[in-house]
Amino acid sequence: MMNHITVLGAGSWGTALATLLASKGLAVNLWARDAKFCAEIARDRENPRYLPGIKIPQEIKICADLPQALKKHQMIVLSVPSQSVREIAKAIKPYLSPETMIVNTAKGFETETLLRLSQVLCEELPTYCGEQIGVLSGPSHAEEVAVRLPTAVVVAANHQDVAETIQDTFMTPFFRVYTNMDLVGVEIAGALKNIIALGTGISDGLGYGDNTKAAMITRGLAEITRLGLILGAEAQTFAGLAGIGDLVVTCTSMHSRNRRAGIQIGQGHPIDQVLSKMGMVVEGVSTTRAAHALARKVGVSMPITEETYQVLFEGKEPVEAVTSLMSRCKTHEGEKEMLG
C-alpha cells in the first residue's frame, strides 16, 4: 500500500478518488491547475462545479502548485481528460522519483496519435514504461463513489505486483478492486464504451425503447470486442468489469455525461451547445473520432461507431443513423463475426 498520494485533476473523478483515499487515512494532495478555483474549493471544502454536495475532508491538501503537490508523493493518480494526459505527463516528469507509481484513471485514446493512454505515458515517461504504470477502470460514477455506494472496479498493469499495490491502495469496504493483467483490453474497453453510451443516449433521445437500448449495448460490446481482439486484447476482459460492466452503467445511468449528451443530441439539440452546456468532459466525442480512424486503419467493422461518427462530425440526422443500422445487410452472431 502507498501512503502518500497526489491526485492530479480536481474534476468529478479526481475529487471523488481523493475523498476515497483520504477516507483510508492516506495522505492525499489534490491538484487543480486553476489557482482561483483551487482556493475556492480549499476554502469551502466542496467542489460545486464538478461534484456538488460532497464534503472534501480537511485532511486533503488542495493546491494549484504542481511541485508542491508532488513534494512527498509515492503514487500519482491522473484524473484529467484523455487529451490532456500527454501535457500532464510532460509537466510531472521533473518531479518523479524512481519509486513513483502512476495510476491513470482517464478513459480514452489520444486522438492525434490513436495511442492508448498508457502508451502516451510510456512515450513521455520511458523509465516507467511497462513497469510502474497502472490503469483504474470499470463501472464507477464519481457521484456514487463519493457517497460510498458499493462499487467494483478493475486495475490493470503489466506486473502483478504493481496491480496489487494499486488494488491495496484503493480498496475499501465500499470500493472493491479486482486486478487484471490485460492492460490493452482494459484500456480499450474503458475508452470505447463511451461511444456506445453516446449512441444509446441518442436512441433514448429519439424516444426509442428498452429493446433498442439492449440491442445497442449488446451489439456495441460485439464491435468493441472485435476492435480489441485485433489490437491485442483478451476476449475475457470484455465480459468483465471494464467491458460489459462499464458498458451497462454508462449506457443506463443518468450520471453518465456521455449518455446525457447523447439524449440531448437525439432530442435535436445542436451538438456544440450540448457539449458546452455539459461543462464536464464528454470523452465519447474524441473517442468516436479516434476509434473511427483506428477501425479504418485495421479494417474492422464498427457500425455503431461509424453511425455515431456521422452524427457527431458529418451532420447526419440521428433518426437516419438508426435507420442505417437497422437496414444493414443481414448477418450472423457469434465467434465468426469477431474475425472481421
Options 14-22, 115-123, 133-141, 222-230: segment touching ligand G3P (CB under 6 A): 133-141
Residues 244-263 that bind ligand G3P (CB under 6 A): 246, 249-250, 255-258
Q: Give the span between the Cα atoms of 234 and 237, in whole angstroms.
A: 6
Look at the block and give the residue holding cell 490485460: 182
Residue 232 CB neighbour total at 10 angstroms: 11
In DSSP notation, 197-225 reads: HHHHHHHHHTT--HHHHHHHHHHHHHHHH
Q: Is 14 in the site for ligand NAD (CB under 6 A)?
A: yes
Closest CA to 82 of 189, 158, 191: 191
Shortest gap between Cβ of 190 and ligand G3P (angstroms)?
A: 7
Shortest gap between Cβ of 67 and ligand NAD (angstroms)?
A: 15
Closest CA to 31 of 46, 58, 10: 10
Q: Give the span between the Cα atoms of 115 and 83, in whole angstroms.
A: 11
Q: Is 336 a residue of the active site?
A: no
Residue 4, Cα to own-chain centre: how many angstroms? Answer: 24
Look at the block and give the residue holding cell 495522505: 27
Q: Which helix (H) or strand (E) holds 123?
A: helix 117-124
Closest CA to 149 of 78, 299, 253: 253
Residue 65 site contact among ligand NAD, ligand G3P, none (CB < 5 to 8 Å, cut-off depends on kind): none
User: Residue 35 carries which side chain, given as an amino acid letter?
Assistant: A
Residues 19-38 that bind ligand NAD (CB under 6 A): 32-33
Look at the block and give the residue holding cell 478518488: 17
Residue 9 site contact among ligand NAD, ligand G3P, none (CB < 5 to 8 Å, cut-off depends on kind): ligand NAD
Q: Is 50 in the site for ligand NAD (CB under 6 A)?
A: yes
Binding site for sn-glycerol 3-phosphate, by residue number, is 107, 138, 140, 193, 246, 256-258
Residue 246 site contact among ligand NAD, ligand G3P, none (CB < 5 to 8 Å, cut-off depends on kind): ligand G3P
Residue closer to ligand NAD (CB basis): 262 or 303: 262
Residue 258 site contact among ligand G3P, ligand NAD, none (CB < 5 to 8 Å, cut-off depends on kind): ligand G3P
Q: Is 283 in the site for ligand G3P (CB under 6 A)?
A: yes
Q: Are 233 and 182 in contact (CB under 8 A)?
A: yes
Options 137-145, 169-177, 200-208, 268-276: segment touching ligand G3P (CB under 6 A): 137-145
Q: Give the span between the Cα atoms of 72 and 3, in whole angstroms.
A: 10
Residue 209 CB neighbour total at 10 angstroms: 9
Q: Is 86 in the site for ligand G3P (CB under 6 A)?
A: no
The grid coordinates of residue 72 equal 512527498
Task: Quote the DSSP letter at residue 107.
Answer: -
Binding site for substrate, by residue number, is 107, 257-258
Task: Quote the DSSP letter at residue 237.
Answer: G
Residue 105 site contact among ligand NAD, ligand G3P, none (CB < 5 to 8 Å, cut-off depends on kind): ligand NAD
Shortest gap between Cβ of 298 and ligand NAD (angstroms)?
A: 23
Of 55, 193, 213, 336, which one is the catalytic site residue?
A: 193
> Which of 63, 80, 221, 275 forms a contact with ligand NAD (CB under 6 A)?
80
- List interacting residues with ligand NAD (CB under 6 A): 9-14, 32-33, 50, 79-82, 84, 87-88, 105-108, 140-142, 280-281, 283
Active site residues: 193
User: Would you tell me which residues interact with ligand G3P (CB under 6 A)?
Assistant: 107, 139-141, 194, 197, 246, 249-250, 255-258, 283
